Amino acid sequence: MTAIALDEETPTVNTSSDANGDMIVALGLPRGRQGPQGEPGAKGDPGDASNVPIASASEAGIVQIGDGLEVDSTGVLSVAETHGMGISDEGSFQAFFSQTVLCRGADATYMDALITFTANPNYVSEAGLSGFGVDALPPEYGFFADGGATTFNIVIQTIDEVTETDVTMRTVTGVVLPHEGLNSVQINFSSGPGSSVASFITVIKNGVCMPSFSIRVPGVKKKW
């Protein structure tokens, strides 16, 4: 006697004889019905992170948080707060010092630089400056045109004349040129937009300092 499992619901019985004359009975028995869903099993052990690949453009995997980014307690990724970094000009224009503040930009790549120039009261100059250049950012940052770093004009006030009782101010135009891919910026002073005639800006005159002035330069990006 033999038996096999059937997917059909109707059982079968087949008989035959072998060479010895013995009867062979072959039974076909329907399978039992599907049982109920079992209870969930115990939670497995944590996976090994060393087996997870580094993410690429075509493969999901581990992503590291780079400089300038941060993740808060809820897992939200954002641009990290960047604190102001002080710099000073070490060249021949010791009248100027600057404080650079890197601000969060419109996206996660580019930032704005707010640079304030203040005259040094210990530096005496009657002639003044027609222009100057300065490393306005730390060396790891630079100005990039695709982020908005292009030449633009600013209007500032400077000292025209100092007497015993009065200080006469004068308004001049400064042409600001952030150097592409570098951390330096050039500022040249003129008598008006589009003018090629330099109008000297007085730094110190008879112990009176010119007012501080600031420029806001977009397109700052970390180079490495």
Q: Which of 169, 174, 171, 173 is nearest to 133 (CA)?
A: 174
The reported pLDDT for the residue numbered 23 is 93
The reported pLDDT for the residue numbered 91 is 39
Report the chain (224 residues): mean pLDDT per 10 consecutive residues.
87 90 91 87 82 87 79 78 45 50 58 80 69 80 78 85 82 88 87 60 74 85 77
The reported pLDDT for the residue numbered 193 is 56
The reported pLDDT for the residue numbered 103 is 59
H, E, C per residue of the chain: CEEEEECCCCCEEEEEECCCCCEEEEEEEECCCCCCCCCCCCCCCCCCHHHCCECCCCCCCECCCCCCEEECCCCCEEECCCCCEEEECCCCCCCEEEEEEEEECCCCCCEEEEEEEEECCCCCCCCCECEEEEECCCCCEEECHHHCCCCEEEEEEEEEEECCCCEEEEEEEEEEEECECCCEEEEEEECCCCCCCECCEECEECCEECCCEEEEEEEEEECC
The reported pLDDT for the residue numbered 92 is 39
Please give the model's pTM, rounded to 2 decimal places.
Answer: 0.55
